[in-house]
């Protein structure tokens, strides 16, 4: 099954959350579904802007390094994303920080990730842990 997210998305996600490299196809499907549900609540223009940002990151990697984002080593991927998150253009900074937030949400909202990090929240609150 092909991802509904633009090409460099998974390599961006792995750069933001290195543990995501261990995900299998079912794990990626879960991450993308969580992010997709969050984006469904947003106007279509926001979803288009996010897709454009992801494509732009891929294009910038080609222009800067002559290689696709996914083909870059971790240090270059991190350096490129760091430059973008610290850019002078506020819209670009917001976009990168928003993308990072979505990636964190998609990865850590999975029950498997919660178990990995020992997160045991319960709707009943502290009483459930006693």
Asked if the structure places residue 74 within a domain, the reply is yes
The angle subtended at Cα 76 by Cα 67 and Cα 71, nearest 5°, is 35
Note the pLDDT of residue 127: 75
State pLDDT tens for residues 27-65: 999 999 999 999 999 999 999 999 999 999 999 999 999
Note the pLDDT of residue 118: 78
Q: Using 50, 70 and 90 to split pLDDT, how confident is the model at 115?
A: confident
Coil vs helix vs strand at 71: helix
Asked if the structure places residue 92 within a domain, the reply is yes
Domains in the chain, number: 1
**Where in the sequence is the domain holding 88, given as residue range(s)?**
9-129
What is the spatial distance between Cα 72 and Cα 61, in angstroms, rounded to a whole number?
8
State pLDDT tens for residues 83-107: 999 999 999 999 999 999 999 999 9
Asked if the structure places residue 87 within a domain, the reply is yes
């Amino acid at each position: 099954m092909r991802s509904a997210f633009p090409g460099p998305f998974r390599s961006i996600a792995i750069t933001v959350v290195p543990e995501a490299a261990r995900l299998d196809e079912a794990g990626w499907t879960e991450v993308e579904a969580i992010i997709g549900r969050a984006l469904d609540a947003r106007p279509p223009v926001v979803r288009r802007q996010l897709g454009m940002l992801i494509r732009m990151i891929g294009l910038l990697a080609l222009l800067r390094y002559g290689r696709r984002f996914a083909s870059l080593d971790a240090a270059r991927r991190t350096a490129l994303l760091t430059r973008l998150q610290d850019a002078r253009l506020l819209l670009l900074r917001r976009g990168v920080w928003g993308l990072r937030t979505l990636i964190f949400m998609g990865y850590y909202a999975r029950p498997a990730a919660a178990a990995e990090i020992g997160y045991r929240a319960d709707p009943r609150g502290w009483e459930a842990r006693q």
